[in-house]
């Protein structure tokens, strides 16, 4: 592994001249800068995957196509010197930080990638056109960097799902690797936007991870409860068995579905998250919820109570003051037959 400072590249020609050893793997980590330990975790994962003879390229580009308002684009932090230090410390070989004119030499591109129906849900509904802009620049950067693998954070779960779909649907031939969300000790997911939160706003924002963890714990409790209920004699009804085990509240929540089918109800998982978020809406400063949803990670359609288990993502977005935050956790809604 190269221990020298990461090479700063400003143009496509410089990136092309970077080259790499024959047979060496190249891994890329795409960012908009303002790097923090979440990005460093991605870079370290890319470094490990590329191996000592491979190459890790970090892109730093604040993509104007992803911003609906010029004010949001202007407000986005730009910290290139600090980004170079973070990238170097995490094991990057090069940082590609082009200007907007370098990426879009003719101005806004006339031909773009369209995210399709998945790009119109959740974040897409809240930020129209955002995912079209994101996929367009990701496609361009993948062509420019020509990696064997690209690393993305699970925190941006819908972005990750769309990039995977684009790479698969359009035969890019690149591995898309997901890296788990990195959190501060208080549970808040790392984000460049966290710097805009006051101490009081951060306290309110902690409702996002608390809501996700409450839902995860509720799911685990329901699954344990169903498993215990299955150990009682068959002659006893499922709801009666749950009550007999001393779990009256959970029995009430699950009675209808427990008698009909042996799965954990997604609506109960969502209810646990909503309870935390509704309390935060009354805080000072308050949390303004955009959405909380339990979705299929393949296409971000809603998971409803008639689904018989499987992988899911519980996603949430909210504003605290002027700062909009997103978070999510993966869940497994296991069938309990």
Tens digits of residue pLDDT in 169-213 = 999 999 999 999 999 999 999 999 999 999 999 999 999 999 999
Residue 96's pLDDT is what?
Answer: 98
Could you say which of 36, 39, 130, 226 is catalytic? 39
Task: Give the pLDDT mean for 102-110.
Answer: 94
Which of 201, 192, 198 is CA-nearest to residue 77?
Answer: 192
User: What's the Cα-to-Cα distance from 319 to each of 36, 285, 294, rounded to whole Å?
Assistant: 21, 10, 19
Please state the rounded mean pLDDT for residues 34-45.
97
Q: Does residue 1 carry a pLDDT above 80?
A: no
pTM for this prediction: 0.87
Go through the chain and tell me how many residues it has.
337
User: What pLDDT, on a 0 to 100 scale, did the predictor assign at position 258?
Assistant: 44
Confidence of residue 335 (pLDDT cuts 50, 70, 90): low
3-class DSSP assignment, residue 310: strand
Q: What pLDDT is recorded for position 262?
A: 46
263-288 mean pLDDT: 92
CA distance 243 to 267: 20
In percent, the amount of the chain with pLDDT more than 70 equals 86
Question: Is a pLDDT exceeding 60 seen at residue 254?
Answer: no
E runs forming strands in the chain: 7-9, 26-31, 55-60, 94-96, 149-153, 175-179, 287-295, 310-320, 323-333
Confidence of residue 73 (pLDDT cuts 50, 70, 90): confident
Whole-angstrom Cα distance, residue 258 to residue 245?
15
- What confidence category does residue 263 fall into, taking pLDDT thresholds of 50, 70 and 90? low
Q: What average pLDDT does the segment 68-92 reach? A: 90
Q: How many CB atoms lie within 10 A of CB 155?
A: 20
Q: For residues 32 and 59, what is the distance between their CA atoms, to the nearest angstrom?
A: 8
Burial of 133 per CB tally in 10 Å (0-12, 13-18, 19+)? buried
pLDDT digits (tens, 9 = 90+) for 13-39: 999 999 888 889 999 999 999 999 999
Catalytic residue flag (residue 130) = no
Structure tokens at 132: 């079209």
Mean pLDDT in residue range 55-73 = 89
Euclidean distance between CA atoms 24 and 109, whole angstroms: 32
Higher pLDDT, 265 or 304: 304
Q: What is the mean pLDDT of the chain?
A: 90
Write the pLDDT tens digit of every residue in 207-236: 999 999 999 999 988 877 777 766 766 555
**Residue 246 binned pLDDT confidence (cut-offs 50, 70, 90):** low
φ and ψ at residue 181, rounded to 5 degrees: -60, 135
């Amino acid at each position: 592994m190269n221990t020298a400072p990461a090479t700063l590249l400003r143009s496509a020609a410089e990136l092309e001249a970077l080259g790499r050893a024959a047979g060496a793997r190249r891994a890329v980590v795409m960012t908009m800068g303002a790097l923090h330990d979440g990005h460093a975790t991605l870079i370290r994962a890319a470094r490990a995957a590329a191996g000592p003879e491979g190459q890790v390229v970090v892109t730093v580009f604040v993509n104007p196509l992803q911003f609906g308002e010029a004010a949001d684009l202007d407000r986005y932090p730009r910290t290139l010197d600090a980004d170079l230090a973070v990238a170097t410390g995490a094991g990057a070989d090069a940082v590609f930080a082009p200007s907007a004119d370098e990426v879009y030499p003719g101005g806004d591109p006339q031909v773009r990638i369209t995210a399709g129906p998945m790009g119109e849900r959740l974040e897409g509904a809240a930020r129209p056109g955002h995912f079209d802009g994101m996929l367009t620049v990701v496609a361009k950067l993948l062509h420019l960097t020509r990696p064997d693998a690209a690393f993305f954070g699970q925190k941006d779960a819908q972005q990750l799902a769309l990039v995977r779909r684009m790479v698969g649907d359009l035969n890019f031939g690149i591995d898309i690797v997901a890296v788990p969300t990195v959190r501060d000790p208080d549970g808040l997911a790392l984000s460049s936007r966290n710097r805009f939160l006051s101490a009081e706003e951060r306290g309110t924002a902690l409702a996002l991870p608390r809501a996700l963890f409450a839902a995860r714990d509720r799911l685990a409790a329901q699954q344990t409860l169903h498993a215990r209920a299955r150990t009682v004699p068959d002659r006893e009804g499922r709801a009666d068995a749950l009550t007999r085990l001393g779990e009256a509240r959970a029995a009430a929540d699950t009675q209808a579905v427990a008698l009909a089918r042996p799965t954990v109800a997604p609506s109960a998982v969502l209810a646990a998250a909503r309870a935390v978020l509704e309390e935060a809406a009354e805080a000072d400063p308050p949390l303004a919820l955009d959405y909380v949803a339990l979705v299929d990670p393949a296409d971000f359609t809603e998971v409803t109570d008639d689904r018989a288990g499987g992988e899911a993502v519980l996603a949430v977005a909210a504003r605290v003051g002027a700062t909009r935050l997103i978070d999510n956790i993966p869940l497994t809604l296991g069938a309990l037959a």
